[in-house]
Amino acid sequence: PKYVYDFTEGNKDLKDLLGGKGANLAEMTNLGLPVPPGFTVTTEACRYYLEHHELPEGLDTEIEEHLAVLETTMGKQLGQPDDPLLVSVRSGARYSMPGMMETVLNVGLNDDSVVGLAAQSGDARFAWDSYRRLIQMFGRTVLEVDGELFEDAISAVKHDRGLTEDVELTATDWQSLVTTFKEIVRQETGRSFPEDPRQQLREAALAVFESWNTPRAALYRRQERIPVSAGTAVNVCAMVFGNLGPDSGTGVAFTRDPATGQQGVYGDYLSNAQGEDVVAGIRNTVPLADLATIDPDSYSELLAIMERLENHYRDLCDIEFTIERGKLWMLQTRVGKRTAAAAFRIANQLLDQGLITLDEAVQRVTGEQLAQLMFPRFDEEPAGGAPRQRIGRGMNASPGAAVGKVVFDSYTAIKWSRSGEDVILVRRETNPDDLEGMIAARGILTSRGGKTSHAAVVARGMGKTCVCGAEELDVDTKNRRMRTPGGAVVEEGDVISIDGTSGEVYLGAVPVTDSPVVRYFDGQLDPASDEADDLVRAVDRLMHYVDAARHLYVRANADTPQDAARARRMGAQGIGLCRTEHMFLGDRRSLVERLILADTDTERDEALAALLPLQRADFTGIFEAMDGLPVTVRLLDPPLHEFLPDITELSVRVAVAEARGEARENDLRLLQAVHRLHEQNPMLGLRGVRLGLVVPGLFTMQVRAIAQAAADRIESGGRPCPEIMIPLVGTVQELEIITEEAQQVLGEVADERGVQLDIALGTMIELPRAALTAGQIAESADFFSFGTNDLTQTVWGFSRDDVEASFFSSYLEKGVFGVSPFESLDTDGVGRLIQLAVDEGRAAKSDIKLGVCGEHGGDPVSVRFFHAAGLDYVSCSPFRVPVARLEAGRAAG
Ligand code: ADP
Ligand code: MG
Ligand code: MG
């Protein structure tokens, strides 16, 4: 195969082979843009090298040939003593990865050619500066010398000479530093810096290949699910110099503002600088617009190129460029990263410009981005007011905006929140003992740890705002205070505000508003009104399109008429999961206790009879809110002891009462029942359909309430469409017994009330055995609803409530999985079972309705899977409905 491509030979669609950087350099070259010539060694060569520990045969010759062409084009040879060709050696995978080797600039310099470069450029300082940069970068990245040693050496010289800035150092200073750097290399590696230009090139290229397998890169790949087999390309590019004086410089540019999406000129420029200087923040950059006065010709050329690139890529591009003595050179471009708001605005603008179609526009935004736009946020800082006091910044670990009093331990968090305070739990890092405090807090702030730290993982699982790793904050939990970089001290009880979307931390209460996007979805903001901005209009336009395009219906999980109504406004096409357990709490607890304690059939029937009208009223309201749309009601699922008092509290109460000789008969019986119903592992105990089979009359009471509520609604002219769902079925026999009873009750109510009731009876598929026997179960079910939370628990053998808090952060850190399987469906394992159940269920009953309820129904990646698996609908929390609609439409596109 061909292992080396000249920039004139590649194009932007060859990213797999040439990496992102190489493919785009080739594309720009072929557009006729001023790119310094060069060539790319393919990812295929990398793969070969990593597998065989030697370069593929013929590669050396191929590189030599391309280098010869480059030398001819440039009219000078690599490292030629009197006028050297210099090159950069740049890594460039399909995806950019932290931990990969960085770029080595100025390859080709040595003790001879540095003199030639000085003579040719007429600038000795420039030549020696370039040479020390080569030794420094080569030393650090290829020879793995600690970079600090070089930095320290520079600082020492500056100190000796009483200087503060690098730019103040002279040719002689750099020349002496070259000697020092070489000495450092020799001491640290036991060999000398290679003077042979071709050896420099070869070693740098091999180091790029090898850096594919650094532990950091490997971990990143596992977490991001980048295939280990991809490999990286190596780009060799003729050097151009931004450090040749005031008429030279280097910069970065964006074709639109990546933060807001607004069109305009965005970027930074630094005169008399090379490569990394711009991002390294060594000296202050100027806004790109200033280039208009610094170098008007280059500026207007750059603007023309930016427009050309945007029209060509039909998207926001980011660009690296260098100006060498008034001549503009393009060094990199790619479709640029952007914020969620910018993504929607840009898609809409490009649509307006006729550059992309609606179908393409919806591929330019993601459900994840839409979700980000829906979180509450801090108000924009009012102009002219007192500036907000930012005291730190960390990782944006879990989005949202939270305001509250600072507490430094879990116990205080719980205590204060019980008395109605909003608290922010601040810790250095969290551990499983902090769980209850995290639940009690409005938000969580830590000074250590990244996005896979305990705090981050648990907060995301709970949907709680979290900023982690705010390292500038010195958290002193012992003395209950934290010190800010400015020296201020935040004590327990002081109010702070944390922004989980940006990672910012503020002192004091920053006002929070609902996002306009949520107000739009909730019907409070008309996109055509003046109050709506272009972001809301962009969202509106794309939503209309995805709603028409998608095959999946989107329902919501809602248990109350209020939630149902809100879900409907958000675009839900029914309820996929109406839980009934909350209907047994509060005042109704005593009725449930009576049911559990009943000694005789009569006592039990009385308790059930008392619950019936209450249940009926619950359903009437929900059916009304969802009139004309399906409402899937799940019969009681959780184990009964959840409705009884806590075992410890009750034991204490009884013991105290007994000591006083006033023990009440009822409490004693309750305590017995609590003991009897106590389970080691309730998740796998007496719950769901098992309850229905063991507690006579419980499920039939619920079915009767549903049927009567439907009859009531029909009589008032409504169109109720209930569906009854039986949880935790493992075998068709369980389902048969319950559906037979249910059908009888439905028939009775229809007769009594003289109405026709078409109520579907179906089951959840949430146990592996149910999935494996879906063909049999389908015979007795009108529909399946995949309960992916329990299915994930039972397929993995993970108890969700335990594992997320205890060890998931280490699993994520070690890269066992890139994302919690409770957050995003494990398509390989759980998904495979779902697919099997879909196929066998449909084979047994072709018109069986298939849906999914559970958190995954609102997770963008999972929604795409459910679309591909051929489900009819997904159901998720009301706030996630728009996200699911968008992803379902994108998946269908
Ligand atoms: P990264 O992927 O970190 O952006 P690059 O390969 O783009 O790495 O290079 C790092 C820096 O060096 C960038 O600022 C880039 O513009 C600059 N650079 C790379 N190659 C050259 C070259 N041939 N001439 C001048 N500057 C270069
Ligand atoms: Mg770059
Ligand atoms: Mg379940």
Q: What CATH number is attached to the domain comprising 326?
A: 3.30.470.20
Query: Residue 276 Cα, ligand 1 centroid: separation in angstroms?
Result: 7
331 touches ligand 1 (CB under 6 Å): yes
106 touches ligand 1 (CB under 6 Å): no
Give the three-class secondary structure for 138: helix
Residues 454, 497, single domain; the answer is: yes
Q: Whose CA is nearest to atom 26 of ligand 1?
A: 275
pLDDT above 70 as % of the chain: 99
Residues 693, 672, single domain; the answer is: no
CA–CA gap between residue 522 and residue 576 (Å, rounded): 19
Find the catalytic residue in 66, 454, 641, 856.
Answer: 454
CA–CA gap between residue 267 and residue 14 (Å, rounded): 28
Average pLDDT over residues 700-723: 97
Residues 115, 140, single domain; the answer is: yes
Give the three-class secondary structure for 512: strand
pLDDT of 219 higher than 80: no
Q: Whose CA is nearest to atom 11 of ligand 1?
A: 275
333 touches ligand 1 (CB under 6 Å): no
Last residue of a domain, one of 304, 335, 366: 335
Range 491-506 burial, b when 16+ CB lie within 10 A, else e: ebeebbbbbbbbbbbb
pLDDT of 657 higher than 90: no
19 touches ligand 1 (CB under 6 Å): no
pLDDT for the residue 825: 97
Task: Return contacts of 483-490, CB within 8 angstroms, 24+ apart.
Answer: 484/391, 484/392, 485/391, 485/392, 486/391, 488/391, 490/391, 490/406
Which atom, in ligand 1's list, is nearest to the CA of 36? 23
Average pLDDT over residues 357-367: 96
- Domain residues for the domain of 288 are 249-335
CA dihedral (300, 301, 302, 306) in degrees, to 10, reads 100
C-beta of residue 232 within 8 angstroms of C-beta of residue 19: yes
CA–CA gap between residue 282 and residue 837 (Å, rounded): 59
CA–CA gap between residue 9 and residue 814 (Å, rounded): 40
CA atoms within 13 A on the CB side of 168: 11
91 touches ligand 1 (CB under 6 Å): no
C-beta of residue 482 within 8 angstroms of C-beta of residue 476: yes
Average pLDDT over residues 134-141: 95
CA–CA gap between residue 492 and residue 496 (Å, rounded): 10
Give the three-class secondary structure for 760: strand
pLDDT for the residue 738: 98
Domain at 158, CATH number: 1.20.80.30
pLDDT of 197 higher than 90: yes
| Digit-coded pLDDT (tens) for 50-72 | 999 999 999 999 999 999 999 99
pLDDT of 115 higher than 70: yes
* Residue 587: Cβ-neighbour burial (10 angstroms; 0-12, 13-18, 19+): exposed
Query: Residue 134 Cα, ligand 1 centroid: separation in angstroms?
Result: 13
In whole angstroms, how far apart are CA 47 and each of 4, 15, 223, 286? 14, 15, 21, 41
Residues 329, 184, single domain; the answer is: no
Residues 212, 318, single domain; the answer is: no
Residues 621, 660, single domain; the answer is: no
pLDDT of 48 higher than 70: yes
239 touches ligand 1 (CB under 6 Å): yes
Mean pLDDT of the chain: 93
Query: Residue 101 Cα, ligand 1 centroid: separation in angstroms?
Result: 12
Query: Residue 173 Cα, ligand 2 centroid: separation in angstroms?
Result: 29
Question: Is 325 within a domain?
Answer: yes
DSSP calls for 319-340: EEEEEETTEEEEEEEEEPP--H
What sign does the dihedral 5-7-8-10 (CA atoms) show?
Answer: positive
Question: Is 287 within a domain?
Answer: yes
Residues 674, 702, single domain; the answer is: no
Spatial strand order in the sheet of 4-6: 4-6, 38-41, 232-238, 87-93, 104-107
Residues 289, 436, single domain; the answer is: no
CA–CA gap between residue 801 and residue 823 (Å, rounded): 13
322 touches ligand 1 (CB under 6 Å): yes
pLDDT for the residue 282: 62
Ligand that comes closest to the CA of residue 237 = 1
Using the structure block, give the residue that is written with the tokens 């759980």: 830
Domain at 411, CATH number: 3.50.30.10
Last residue of a domain, one of 487, 513, 539: 513
Give the three-class secondary structure for 539: helix
C-beta of residue 321 within 8 angstroms of C-beta of residue 331: yes
Of 42-56, 436-450, 647-661, 873-887, the least confident: 647-661
pLDDT of 717 higher than 90: yes
Find the catalytic residue in 468, 853, 856, 867.
Answer: 853
* Residue 450: Cβ-neighbour burial (10 angstroms; 0-12, 13-18, 19+): middle
pLDDT for the residue 526: 97
Residues facing 232 on adjacent strands? 93
Query: Residue 331 Cα, ligand 1 centroid: separation in angstroms?
Result: 7
Residues 466, 600, single domain; the answer is: no
Residues 692, 829, single domain; the answer is: yes
Ligand that comes closest to the CA of residue 268 = 1
Ligand that comes closest to the CA of residue 852 = 3
Query: Residue 142 Cα, ligand 1 centroid: separation in angstroms?
Result: 16
Q: Whose CA is nearest to atom 9 of ligand 1?
A: 103
Confidence category of residue 596, pLDDT binned at 50, 70, 90: confident
Residues 124, 94, single domain; the answer is: yes
4 CB contacts (<8 Å, ≥6 apart)? 39, 40, 41, 42, 45, 59, 62, 63, 65, 66
Residues 222, 271, single domain; the answer is: no
276 touches ligand 1 (CB under 6 Å): yes
Average pLDDT over residues 658-681: 85
Q: The whole model's pTM is what?
A: 0.89
Question: Is 570 within a domain?
Answer: yes
Q: ipTM of the predicted structure? A: 0.96
pLDDT for the residue 189: 96
Residue 498 parent element (H or E): strand 495-499
Last residue of a domain, one of 488, 513, 538: 513
Catalytic-residue membership of 454: yes
The token pair at 752 is: 């009594």
Of 216-220, 624-628, 706-710, the least confident: 216-220
Confidence category of residue 285, pLDDT binned at 50, 70, 90: confident
pLDDT of 142 higher than 90: yes
Catalytic-residue membership of 468: no
Q: Which of 302, 320, 324 should be mutated for ligand 1, with most atoms under 8 A from CB?
A: 320
Average pLDDT over residues 90-107: 85
| Digit-coded pLDDT (tens) for 451-498 | 778 888 888 877 799 999 999 999 999 999 999 988 899 999 999 999
CA–CA gap between residue 799 and residue 720 (Å, rounded): 37
| Digit-coded pLDDT (tens) for 243-282 | 998 999 999 999 999 888 988 889 999 999 887 777 665 6
Confidence category of residue 533, pLDDT binned at 50, 70, 90: very high
Question: Is 834 within a domain?
Answer: yes
Using the structure block, give the residue that is written with the tokens 């790793």: 469
Q: For residue 631, which phi and psi values (nearest 5 degrees)? A: -130, 110
Q: Which of 105, 138, 282 should be mutated for ligand 1, with most atoms under 8 A from CB?
A: 105
CA–CA gap between residue 93 and residue 97 (Å, rounded): 8
| Best-predicted range by mean pLDDT (33-42, 394-403, 641-650, 812-821) | 33-42
State how many domains the chain has. Answer: 5
- Among 447, 574, 433, residue whose Cα is nearest residue 498: 447
| Best-predicted range by mean pLDDT (20-29, 334-343, 673-682) | 20-29
Using the structure block, give the residue that is written with the tokens 């970089």: 485
Query: Residue 679 Cα, ligand 2 centroid: separation in angstroms?
Result: 59
Domain at 627, CATH number: 3.20.20.60
Question: Is 218 within a domain?
Answer: yes
Question: Is 2 within a domain?
Answer: no
Which has more pLDDT, 648 or 715? 715
Average pLDDT over residues 281-291: 83
pLDDT of 818 higher than 90: no
Question: Is 33 within a domain?
Answer: no
The token pair at 51 is: 């597998």
659 CB contacts (<8 Å, ≥6 apart)? none
The H-assigned helical ranges of 598-731 are 601-625, 647-659, 665-677, 689-694, 698-715
Which atom, in ligand 1's list, is nearest to the CA of 96? 2
Give the three-class secondary structure for 533: coil
Question: Is 574 within a domain?
Answer: yes
580 touches ligand 1 (CB under 6 Å): no
90 touches ligand 1 (CB under 6 Å): yes
